[in-house]
Amino acid sequence: MQFSPRWLALVLSLTISLLTMGFLSLVNNTFGVLVVGFSIAFSTSFILFYFTLQFFILGDINDAFSILEKLKKKDFKLAKKQISNLSAIQKLNEELYAYATNKQKEIDHLQQLAIYRREFLADVSHELKTPIFATQGFIETLLDGAVDDEEVRYKFLEKASRSLEGLNNLVEDLFTLSQMEAKMITMHPKLFMIEDLILEVFEQLEDKAYQRNISLIVKNHGVKDVFADRNRITQVITNLVNNAIKYGKNDGKVEVQIHHSPPQKVLVEVIDNGTGISEEHLDRIFERFYRVEKSRSKEKGGSGLGLAIVKHIVEAHNHKVNVQSKVNEGTIFSFKLDTKEQSPNFDVIS
């Protein structure tokens, strides 16, 4: 709805000039005097009403309406610009604008959470079904008679056990991820030798690497301590090295390089010469349950949550994970860490 100050001024000034003419006709009934009286009364009152309405009242009200229109269309930028040009009763407009913007943001956030929850639930149930059905299948085969054949029995029990292990990994990763997303995990940063941590991770994964004849190499360019949550960074490096082995080439290599990155940061790079990831997938691999090759990745036993967890942990340290990759050449995952306590919003618990 828009008020036109011109029409309102016209109606009001016409009324006033007609009244003036009425009074004038009581004093002097000459046509010329009446016309002049009408014209003067009309033009002065029109100008007065028009400008008063335009500049002090209706202009502001119309601006408020057009801001509301824009808020309805969620055009916050334009609405804000318009507000900076306003005056007088605009305090009210500004309050309204701030209130509406905050409410809209809350609604958007809640809507996003609802979508997120729905998708998460669908993904989780889908992911849980796979190992449960597989285990069920192996056990049923055993019950149907395979249990009498010693060789088959062993093979099927081993398969069932692997499926259950996958299920256990998935549930653990899910638990970590849900706690991180609910911001229920607090980082406990302290100073530690990053090279020692990398060697510990290598020790944990050397059997896996050995099976594919992949060499695990650490190249330290003079880095000693970093200031971070040791357990969480262990999880990050484990997930990245684990992927580098899984998606690496047989007889290939996985290298973890650590460099100083001035000022007071350390750059960690996990480099493999494996399958690589094509451009269109690079932006999405950090999403939960996203896999480049669905069947092949599942075969390799991943939960599809490894990189989502990596991203959360690195971001909780106020840094970002980067990835560069070339198909059939290899992939580099990198992130930085602090060497001292330096971020004011870093949650330190001793």
Ligand X SMILES: Nc1ncnc2c1ncn2[C@@H]1O[C@H](COP(=O)(O)OP(=O)(O)O)[C@@H](O)[C@H]1O
> Which residue's CB is nearer to ligand X, number 239 or number 339?
239
Query: If we measure between CA atoms, which residue out of 274, 269, 240 comes closest to residue 256?
Result: 269
Q: What is the DSSP string of 55-105?
A: IIIIHHHHHHHHHHHHHHTT-HHHHHHHHHT--TTHHHHHHHHHHHHHHHH
Binding flag, residue 131, ligand X (CB under 6 A): no
In the region spanning residues 305 to 344, those forming contacts with ligand X, defined by CB under 6 A, are: 305-308, 331
By beta carbon distance, the residue nearest ligand X is: 302
Q: Which of 201, 236, 237, 277 touches ligand X (CB under 6 A)? A: 277
- Specify the stretch interacting with ligand X by CB under 6 A; choose among 15-23, 35-43, 216-224, 303-311: 303-311
Is 37 an interacting residue with respect to Mg ion (CB under 5 A)? no
- β-pairing verdict for 265-272 and 321-326: unpaired
Among positions 285, 314, 316, 321, the unique one binding ligand X when judged by CB under 6 A: 285
- Judged by CB under 5 A, the residue of 306, 313, 316, 319 near Mg ion is 306
We find the least distance from the C-beta atom of residue 249 to ligand X, in angstroms, to be 10
Q: Mark the segment that binds ligand X (CB under 6 A) among 11-19, 72-80, 202-210, 301-309.
A: 301-309
**Piece of 137-145, 181-189, 211-219, 292-300 that binds ligand X (CB under 6 A):** 292-300
Q: Which does 336 bind (CB under 5 to 8 A by kind): ligand X, Mg ion, none?
A: none
The residue written with tokens 């970590």 in the block is 176
238 lines the binding site for Mg ion (CB under 5 A):
no
Backbone angles phi, psi at 255, to 5 degrees: -120, 135
CB of 246 to ligand X, least distance (A): 6
Find the part of the chain contacting ligand X (CB under 6 A) among 144-152, 213-221, 302-310, 335-343.
Answer: 302-310
243 binds Mg ion (CB under 5 A): yes
Site for ligand X (CB under 6 A): which residue of 272, 311, 317, 321? 272
Structure-block tokens of residue 207: 């059997």
Q: Which residues of 15-49 are buried (b: 16+ CB within 10 A; e: fewer)?
A: ebbeebbeebeeeeeeeeebeebbeebbeebbeeb
The reply on whether position 60 binds ligand X by CB under 6 A is no
Nearer to ligand X, 290 or 346 (CB): 290
One residue of 5, 37, 276, 302 binding Mg ion per CB under 5 A: 302
Residue selected from 226, 230, 302, 339 as contacting ligand X according to rule CB under 6 A: 302
Q: How far is CA 262 from the centre of its chain?
A: 28
DSSP state of 148: G
Residue 252 touching ligand X (CB under 6 A): no
DSSP string, 254-318: EEEEEEEETTTEEEEEEEE-SS---HHHHTTTTSTT--SSHHHHHHTT--S-HHHHHHHHHHHTT
Sign of dihedral through CA atoms 55, 61, 65, 70?
positive
Nearest alpha carbon to residue 189 among 309, 320, 313, 312: 313
247 DSSP 8-state letter = T
Within 140-169, which residues bind Mg ion (CB under 5 A)? none
Residues near ligand X (CB under 6 A) are: 239, 243-244, 247, 272, 274-275, 277, 285, 290-293, 297, 302-308, 331
